[in-house]
Structure 1
Amino acid sequence: MLITLLYHRAFACRYGNSPEILEKHFSFLKENYPIVLPLDPLDKKKISLCLSFDDATFDFYKIVYPLLHAYDLKALLAVPVGFIAEDTFYSDKERLSALKEFSFHSSPPSHSFCSFKELHEMTLSSRVHIASHGMHHTNLSLPGVDLSLELEVSKKILEQRLSTPIHSFVFPYGKYNKEVLDQAKKHYRLTFRIGNGLNFSW
């Protein structure tokens, strides 16, 4: 059996948990559950957990990634590709501060996110499995959305920039319809959404 736990920010806010709370979560989960990445084998006699973090904001690299190392864990990271820069000249303090005003409704700055350089480092560690989160964190069920751009192009960019196959797509806002799902299945082996559910396989 499989449950995916969804996280967002690594600081205390509406969509986040403080680093201290996250560390308590990780400590408990490490002691009590097998933690798996997409397509890992599942123990049929136990509930396996997949840790999923949306949006690839800089706090993941700065706070969550070191905690994954400390607790020997691994996680899925959903990347909105259109916001990712190659690198940044902003300081860590400036990047974390920018997250306090973060919103996808107001064109968040690229330094709020992990850079491609940081994503590549994490990919090489084998602790982080990269998923596409589309190009622009768009509700894909809305009319007029360029599904080829959001689903296909985002995948190709990630594979080219990170030199790794991309198997997974995480629906922004958990929104999709039959057309979106059919298109996603053409390009990805796995899709993830927000919602309650117990899975028995990938």
Structure 2
Amino acid sequence: MLITLLYHRAFECPYGNTLDSLEKHFIYLKKHANIVLPFEELKKHALNVCISFDDATFDFYEYVYPLLKKHQIKALLSVPTGFISASETITPETRISELKRFPNNSTNASCYCSFSEIAEMSTSGFVDIASHGVDHVNLTSKGIDLEKEIRNSKETLESALNKKIECFVYPYGRFNKQIHEIVKKYYKLGMRIGNGVNFSWDSSLHFRINADGIKKVASLLGARRRVLGGLKSIKRFYY
């Protein structure tokens, strides 16, 4: 079985966990699961877990990345390329302060990791990179340039990082079959939100379970109790 957990911020907010809670999560997951990145080999007869963080906000580089190195575990980071600058000269303290003012909807590039920071993490072996579109928009909304959001974000990341980008993370988890067909043209995997588990990396549609705001670490792997609910969605959208 493969469970992918979805995280956002590394501080207390509606879409986050405190740094202390995150560290407890990581310790628990390392003890109870085999932690993998997309397309890595899964252990048979074991619980495999992929840790994913959305949005590439600066708190990931400042707080989460050091924790990953400390505990020797890996995570997937999804990047909305339209918010990313080449580098930042503003102090880390100012960037974190600005992010905490607008934790969920900032368009200020200083609140996000820079391309130089993303490149550093990408080459570390602890962080893999996925596309999260260009402008972090709901792709099912009217008037969205889907090719721009899906293809251009991939091209930007591949050019900046000099590596293949194989995963697309749907902003807000929103998509439909038409959108997913476009994603399949450019990526091996599209990631959605839903109380479903995965059984391999073979399907082009991958389920993630929200892990924000979880204070009891034992609840992290409660997804096993939600398998049956997820199976209905898997059958409906299986590609």
Please say whether Structure 1 and Structure 2 have the same fold, judged by a TM-score greater than 0.5.
yes
The 1-side partners of 2:175 and 2:31 are apart by: 35
The C-alpha deviation readout for 1:27-51, integer Å capped at 9, x for no partner, is 1111111000000011120110000
Amino acid at match of 1:32: H
Match of 2:91 in 1: 91
Unaligned runs of 5+ in 2: 202-239
Q: Is the 8 A contact 2:35 2:49 kept in 1?
A: yes
- 4+ residue runs over 4 A deviation: none
Q: Is the 8 A contact 1:51 1:76 kept in 2?
A: yes
Match of 2:29 in 1: 29
Match of 2:221 in 1: none
Q: Is the 8 A contact 1:104 1:137 kept in 2?
A: no
The 2-side partners of 1:146 and 1:98 are apart by: 29
Amino acid at match of 2:146: L
The answer on 1:129 being equivalent to 2:128 is yes
SS of residue paired to 2:39: coil
Match of 1:195 in 2: 194
Match of 1:152 in 2: 151
Q: TM-score, normalised by structure 2?
A: 0.82
- Seen in structure 2, the aligned counterparts of structure 1 residues 156 and 92 have a Cα distance that, compared at 3 Å, is same
Match of 2:172 in 1: 173
The C-alpha deviation readout for 1:129-151, integer Å capped at 9, x for no partner, is 10000000000011111011000
Aligned residue pair count: 201
Amino acid at match of 2:124: S
Percentage of identical aligned residues: 52
Q: Is the 8 A contact 1:140 1:147 kept in 2?
A: yes
Q: CA deviation at 1:89?
A: 1.1
Q: TM-score, normalised by structure 1?
A: 0.97
The 2-side partners of 1:41 and 1:136 are apart by: 32
Match of 1:101 in 2: 101
The 1-side partners of 2:41 and 2:189 are apart by: 14
